[in-house]
Structure 1
Amino acid sequence: MMRQQRRRAVGALVAAAGLVAGALAVAPHAAADPQDLSASAAPALPFGSHQIPYADGTLRPSGGQSAIDQQVIEKYREWKAAFVRQNCGNGWYETLSPDADHPYVGEGQGYGMVITALMAGADTDAKKIFDGMVKYVLAHPSSNNPGLLAAEQDSSCKSVDGSDSATDGDLDVAYALLLADRQWGSSSGTYDYKNLAVKHINAIKKSEVNPTTHLMLLGDWSTPSESHYWISRSSDWMTDHFRAFKSATGDASWDTVRDAHQNLITTQQSKYGSSTGLLADFVVNTNSAPKPASGKVLESTHDGDYGWNACRDAWRIGADAVTGGDTASRDSARKLNGWIKGSTGGDPSKIVTGYHLNGSTFDGGQDMAFTAPFAVAALTDPGSQAWLDALWGKLASSRVDPKIYYGASVQLQSMIVVSGNYWVP
């Protein structure tokens, strides 16, 4: 069954407050106190240790590193207080998504797991929370491939809408399990993170990678007989994840997957975003002549524009560039950075929530989901220190809105990368 997931259009946020109220009415707020950062297993790479350096030439925000790290910790505390929950018992921890179609979505569980693993050391409850999130994921298998996560749950944490998967959530779940294996090890404790990660990676390969194009499918519901089989979502092109998957499994096919996505990013930027570097939410005809969608193919009439999916691309591409030193990712990130810096005149408040690929706007709203990723891209350009500092100031000073999980989660993860606290297992 195809999940008709709708991304967060501006109008959807108006209804978010009612959804939050409904979700919280089911069970009281049971998240751990965000100020209670007290006792758990010691992580190997605690937040703020900066043990794994970025590529040479990568920028950092101006100012002392400890102050920068503290700004991320404060943002994490806001995010955790707003969205980390134990609403459904069973020892589960969930990431609440009030601005999505359902209170709990696979994308959100993936975000929560990645964030929690990376923030270990700043939050000494991280392992307990992470294990509760793992327990939640394992209790909600996809109906098509039980090695994957069912993408949507209702306020009672019951899987709905066919119980099938969404690729972005699965990619982050697998990646987070690899982070956890590096942080806490897999030889003791409740879960063998490495074993679970490899199983999840293999399930992704089986059901969410197109075997012909080597590009990510939209979910395990997209099969050869289904009309979306030759469509790929640009925000699923997580090339650093593919690097980690190859390292964890020794499976060389992940190099093929990585190359296919990098080539597609480069050609799409050249053909359709030559002056901007912008990518479309969805690319169609991946088996023949890949191009941006024309009108609605899954979510909205702007599926061929830089919208609520592609807004994450600068973060994902930039993260691969700074952690791996990859020149293709670096060049793609620099294209995005050069355009947005010029088009806004260096003013982050002028970044809006919707662009055509030529850089013209179709929406005038503002959201951290669009603003924050450009800070990651700015890391790749030695001539963008002032621009990076302006973006960092915007991210650090913008409080988390408890009604907007999506923008807040992208904001926090972008800040983790920009602060130098991101790493690839």
Structure 2
Amino acid sequence: MDLTRTKALPIRHGKPKVLKMLLALALLLPAGFGIPAQTSYAAGISKPFPQQVDYPGMIKPSHVTQNAMNKSVSDYYDYWKATYLKHDLSSLPGGYYVKGDITGDPEGFKALGSSEGQGYGMIITVLMAGHDPNAQNIYNGLFKTARAYKSSGNPHLMGWVVADSPKAQGHFGSATDGDLDIAYSLILAHQQWGSDGAVNYLDEARTMINDGIKVSYVTTNNRLNLGDWDAKDALNTRPSDWMLSHFRAFYEVTGDAGWIQVIDNLYSVYDQFTAAYSPTTGLVSDFVVGNPPKPAPEWYLDEFKETNQYYYNASRFPLRVVMDYAFYGDPRGKAAADKITGWIKTKANGSPANIKNGYNLKGTAIGDYATAVFVAPFISAGTADSANQAWINAGWDWMKNKREDYFSDTYNLLNLLFITGNWWVPEGQAEQPIINLALNKPAVSSSIEGSGFEADKAFDGNLMSRWASNEGSDPEWIYVDLGSVQSISGVTLKWEAAYAKQYKIQVSTDSSGTPVQWTDVNSTTDGNGGVDEIDFSPHNARYVRMLGSERGTPYGYSLYEFEVYGTSSP
């Protein structure tokens, strides 16, 4: 079973007036993430611009050369940097910020920027290192500001407003999207420059993810709330925060499979929402509330009237969802991108210039002009299918020279980086790398739910696949053949929602090819799902089995991954 704005409205966040040991291996990236040969590398930079990655299954503009696209991006960055990147804070010398208007109450301060802009700027700066020789200094200055302007609710997060006053530092609550981008940028920064300098980017990322984002934003129902002022059981969420590929990077650096559960749940929320409210368009509203999910009402949280429509928050979603397909190959990301693209191409009669700045969920325009924060994500979504080549070419021509305001220009630049392959994928950075002896080894199970849920899916290193047994039966089991006798001392079970309440871990050294004699090495009677990391005294084993005797749900047993750890052959 599968449990599975007006013309100058640039930013939407306001504090509402109402108010673990890492054992996981990194996810395997799809084949084809080769980096082109570089004639030279700037000192200390591992991925200098341009990287010009060709994402598997994706297309780029075909009527211009890669060099021309790179030049357009670097020119746009130079313009963006000169226009919006500032370091004039008298209250924080050396602190950089991205200057942009806000909506919401600045509570007596003169707002200069936001955590949202800070996150965007930090991602952009990392990706442009190599073109910009000062990129790391700028990045560190942006990070300095993010840390100084900590949230009033959780000090591991950033307050949503930047203002030139020491009293603004620690005064404001947070906004989810800014912190997600900031934490993700720290992972990129570690990949780009390493973490042995003035800032330990990887440690900062892990702390922010584990002690900030996970603690304050991930709800008990595996959604994302709106800020650290929001409830942990909240059912309100903002689709512009559904940064699915970010969450895979969070998983890779923390080993916390809970991030995969968040991804799965958000895809489920999207499917439920669109089936009920936008089956033709695939659009989502600026805010989604309730269970089952539905559009928020107008004027939700006093933000603006169109909070129930596809407006200046939701306009960012197509980029976020297509990135999950481009970077990690999730077909759900492609399905969403294809539906949205199919609708908007028809609606705009094949011309990106005809896109409007707002639609209701059925696809009727509520806006009256084209702006990049709407156009650019629709073009990015189209890169998931070669049938959209003319659309991508026309969109590129529209985007590359568009100059508007902070919000549109900044999001336009992020899309330009993605479309040209200059937004690269950070590699996994798990601490204490330990060999998963079961990875890609033969497996056998007592049953399978159906095609696509075979035993080997629990040993493929891919948290987008899983083994599932028949529903409603006990006992059930799954075992792996390590190929030879190994000394093992632990397993990690990454359960899907259908988990075992009572189970045993057993080992066998039978040489017959079909193990008969099993030895218990661990027994659990109070399993509650999630990730079970089980250590035991070293045992020799060729076969390792999970024997489930009592289900924790009415369904069956289901594992995303069954990992086996040890040190050497006996």
Moved more, 73-82 or 270-279: 270-279
Match of 1:3 in 2: none
AA partner of residue 251 (structure 1): D
* Cα-Cα RMSD: 1.9
Aligned to 1:219: 227
Question: Contact 1:40–1:126 (CA<8 Å) still a contact in 2?
Answer: no
Task: Report the CA distance between 1:366 and its aligned residue.
Answer: 2.6
Aligned to 1:292: 295
1:173 correspondence with 2:197: no
- Residue 41 of structure 1, CA deviation: 4.4
Q: Tell me the equivalent position of 2:152.
A: 143
* Alpha-carbon distance between aligned partners in 2 of 1:238 and 1:199, rounded to the nearest angstrom: 19
2:235 pairs with 1:230:
yes
Q: Which residue identity is paired with 1:250?
A: G
1:206-285 map, 5 Å: 206-211=215-220, 213-223=221-231, 229-285=234-290
Compared CA separation, residues 70 and 11, structure 1 to 2 (3 A): closer
Give 1:73 shift: 0.6
Q: How does 1:3-152 map to 2 (within 5 A)?
A: 9-10=6-7, 12=9, 41-50=43-52, 52-88=53-89, 89-98=92-101, 100=103, 102-152=111-161
Partner of residue 204, structure 2: 196
The aligned residue for residue 35 of structure 1 is none
1:160 & 1:129 partners in 2: Cα distance?
Answer: 20
Question: Which shifted more, 160-169 or 309-318?
Answer: 160-169
User: How many pairs align?
Assistant: 382
C-alpha deviation, 1:289, in angstroms:
1.4
How far the C-alpha of 1:417 sits from its partner, in A, is: 0.3
**Alpha carbons 1:61, 1:392 under 8 Å: kept:** no
Residues 59 and 381, structure 1, Cα contact 8 Å, conserved in 2: no
2:422 aligned with 1:421, yes or no? yes
Deviation at 1:129, TM superposition (A): 0.4
Q: What is the SS of the residue equivalent to 1:397? A: coil
Structure 2 residue aligned with 1:381: 385
Q: Is the 8 A contact 2:61 2:396 kept in 1?
A: no
In structure 2, do the counterparts of structure 1 residues 74 and 115 end up closer, same or farther at CA, with 3 Å as the change threshold?
same
Most deviating of 191-200 and 100-109:
100-109
Q: Please, which of 314, 322, 336 is the counterpart of residue 326 of structure 2?
A: 322
TM-score (norm. length: structure 2): 0.65
2:186 is matched by which residue type in structure 1? L
2:314 aligned with 1:310: yes
Query: Quick check: which one's strand share is greater?
Result: 2
- Give the SS at the match of 1:303: helix
What CA distance in whole angstroms lies between the structure 2 residues aligned with 1:233 and 1:147? 21
Paired residues of 2:99 and 2:112 also in contact (CA < 8 A): yes
Instruction: Give the residue type in structure 2 aligned to 1:218.
Output: L
SS of the residue 2:137 aligns to = helix
> Which has the higher relative contact order, 1 or 2, with Cα contacts under 8 A spaced 6 or more apart?
1
Residues 275/261 of structure 1: CA separation in 2 closer, same or farther (3 Å cut): same
Structure 1 residue aligned with 2:529:
none
Which structure has the larger Rg over C-alpha atoms? Answer: 2
Q: Please say if residues 296 and 302 of structure 1, whose CA atoms lie closer than 8 Å, have aligned partners that are also in contact.
A: yes
Residues 114 and 179, structure 1, Cα contact 8 Å, conserved in 2:
yes
Q: Is the 8 A contact 1:318 1:380 kept in 2?
A: yes
**Hey, what does 2:338 align to over in structure 1?**
334
Asked if 2 retains the 8 angstrom alpha-carbon contact of 1:284 and 1:292, the reply is yes
Note the C-alpha offset of 1:61. Answer: 4.1
Q: Secondary structure at the match of 1:98?
A: coil
| Partner amino acid, structure 2, of 1:90 | P
Shift of the 416–342 alpha-carbon distance from structure 1 to 2, 3 Å rule, reads same
| Aligned-residue offset at 1:12 | 4.5
What SS does structure 2 have at the residue aligned with 1:316? helix
Q: How far off its partner does 1:294 sit? A: 2.5
The superposition leaves residues 42-88 of structure 1 with CA deviations (integer Å, 9 ceiling, x where unpaired) of 321111133x5412343444321111111011111111011111011
The equivalent of 1:408 in structure 2 is 409
> Where in structure 2 are there 5+ consecutive unaligned residues?
11-40, 105-110, 427-570
Distance 1:58 1:266, change over 3 A: farther
Cα deviation digits, residues 145-167 of structure 1 (max 9, x gap): 10001111224475289511000
Alpha-carbon offset, residue 318 of structure 1? 1.4
